[in-house]
Structure 1
Amino acid sequence: MGANKKFAVILSGCGVFDGAEIHESVMTLYAIAKYGASYEIFAPDMEQHHVINHLDGSEMKEKRNVLIEAARIARGKIKPLNEFNPEFFDGLILPGGFGVAKNLCTWAFDGPNCTIHPQVESVIKKMHKLKKPIGALCISPVLLAKVLGNVTVTIGKDVSTAQAIESLGAKHQSTGHAQVVVDEKNMLFTTPCYMLDATIVDIAEGAKAIVSEMLKWI
């Protein structure tokens, strides 16, 4: 199904509360490989906003680097985002996690008034201009709404986040597990994953669904 197709995957660290959501990241990589495609992993080389103790939710007095943390998930095989070249890839996909809203942009603090990391914004715009599929899981669709504006996405059923997205000029569609919203005009593919109450099985099914749908359009 995905023979000779290649995805770029952008991670935002390592760990749901301050980086990339690990289940979503791993299941996305699994789905890409499962369908016969390949991937390269990228992350911005930057200090992450803060470090969270994933046992008790407290903020820790230390600093970590987004690229170095994401390398844990990538098993060391990762590149800094400034080396991304859209010509080498058939699709782009962004797993979720609070790192998206804290490191790749400032949505966690500023909502629709957020700023986007310049490299992230550049990658999204370049892939969009080339009309190559862009996939986003969980909270990541806010990046697409902020950067591209008049698009159709989903983050599941969260009313306040959906309203914030629509304040940017985008359209939100309510969805359940493993449902994928396809914006054909903009070649965008979004699915809710952990924006809904979910199990790891739900996440696996969501990742498979979005990768499968994207491959149909490559």
Structure 2
Amino acid sequence: MDVRRLSRTEAEAALDDLARLRIEVFHDFPYLYEGDIDYERRYLSTYMESAGSVIVGAFDGAELVGAATAAPLTEHFEEFAEPFAARGLDPASFFYFGESVLRKTYRGRGVGVRFFEDRERAARESGYSACVFSSVIRPADHPLRPVGYKPLDEFWVHRGYSRIDGHTTGFSWCDVGETDETVKPMEFWARQLPS
């Protein structure tokens, strides 16, 4: 497998592949994303328009099978920066990790670790020492929660990230089986990178 940072030209060429990959992976719990290519193009445009964005691709031959995104928090959606400003934290101090998506058959091979390492390296190169990301909050008794579901909390903690208690936002998408977008609660995780 080839895991590497994409050039701007490569990222733009892979936009629809990344959109389809997000739809496929986020269809599963906990995101339960119905999937819409127009929504994807709007969402992903933030990375195409951000001078500081990073997209890491995982390829099996020429096929994109995984991807991870990141950008300065101030260049992402306002819903993610606003809670930091509201707590007296300067959003310009944080590098925001968007999605890490990887097809199921490629998991367990260290690609997720590479996604974090490459984005943390990009953060350092851009002068950031703090990285953050968000994850959706679903109730433990959610009717679509699979039996034996294990959240990624342990993986994130092992990578040095901690949940920021009480620090949340809301972001909208259309759930599986629904026709209208609804706001989902999101929590934040952060890591101070070693110098």
TM-score (norm 1): 0.35
Q: Per residue, is there more helix in 1 or in 2?
A: 1
Q: Per residue, is there more strand in 1 or in 2?
A: 2
TM-score (norm 2): 0.37
